[in-house]
Homo-oligomer: A and B are copies of this chain.
Amino acid sequence: MSHNSFGHMFRVTTWGESHGPALGCVIDGAPSLIEITEPEIQHWLDRRKPGQNRFTTQRREPDTVKILSGVFEGKTTGTPISLMIENVDQRSKDYGDIKSKFRPGHADFTYQTKYGIRDYRGGGRSSARETAARVAAGAIARKVLGDGVQIKGYLTQIGDRKIDRSRFDEAEIDKNAFWCPDPVMAAEWSEYLDGIRLGGSSVGAVIEVVASGVPAGLGAPIYGKLDSDLAGAMMTINAVKGVEIGEGFSAAALTGEENADEMRKGNETSPRFLSNHAGGILGGISTGQDVVVRFAVKPTSSILQPRQTVDLEGAETDIITKGRHDPCVGIRAVPVGEAMMACVLADHLLRHRGQNG
């Protein structure tokens, strides 16, 4: 049991606070002889990096990753891979308000209650800054999975505005600030979020992550189901309040006939499925189809609108959260969701090999 680790065969332990000297992760179980370099990990970190446009926090962090162990002459050795990212732009001068008041929607009250102490600077351990370590781990996970598995995340909804699936164009995803596959909606979101941002408000989002090329057979019933591990993994991401696989909540309204993914003659190892309501997972095991996960992110809790709260002594007060924040934290959750998908799949690949290889 470890509260700060996930995975079993491919096991990631993260550490670090928002305003401490550094953060990082230790990856245990990666196979040996995998070629990996700092620039390859940096590539994925740069996608998550804050301050890249006006819709994400203006904190300036280079998020430069260092490999401290587990890689020798450019290859993994089978020993733990320690990755570290130093914090540079903490700006922790003034924390008066956060120090003594509980911000609604944040973990201030619960950390204080559980631990009797909290590193209030930038939210400490509960800050989304921790997800940089996951993205670094995800870079290794992608290497474990190999090029045959491709993982792609994007936003399908910001606030109440959803993409139009008929305009879905994967090539658009990297062309806008929102990882939006619908260019029309990308433009609309831009305007919409400007309003939210200037009003000192925030808004939620829905992210979809798709993994293609996943071999059939990954996942371990009953309590190591691939969908269970994905749901648990996505729910660990800051501000996530819901997770769906494939059809998700919409499946409740379907009939058995509608929801059945019928099969026709396929290749040697697999039938051809006529649909993918299941999101690529049946009985907790991958079918070989695309694995499709969606998760909902609540609006950023740090807003400039005053909210009622109490202070450490329980006295009533108001709070406004000044500082550098994302009007929609869901945007930066995309690379994190991809990383979690990669880590869960890598873990199950190794587990499958162990029991069934």
Contacts and interface: CB of A to CB of B under 8 A. Distances in A.
A166 interface: no
B221 A285 contact: no
A138 interface: no
A268 B113 CA distance: 11
B217 A113 contact: yes
A229 to B, nearest CB: 7
A330 B252 contact: yes
A290 B263 CA distance: 43
B15 A255 contact: no
Nearest to A75: B117
A100 B69 CA distance: 22
A interface: dominant SS: mixed
Contacts of A254: 203-204, 298-299
A2 to B, nearest CB: 5
A204 to B, nearest CB: 4
Given A9-B354, A21-B69, A353-B357, 6 more contacts: A79-B125, A105-B256, A203-B256, A225-B235, A249-B296, A266-B310
A2 B5 contact: yes
Nearest to A258: B299
Given A21-B68, A271-B109, A355-B9, A248 B252 contact: no
A245 B241 contact: yes
A107 B283 contact: yes
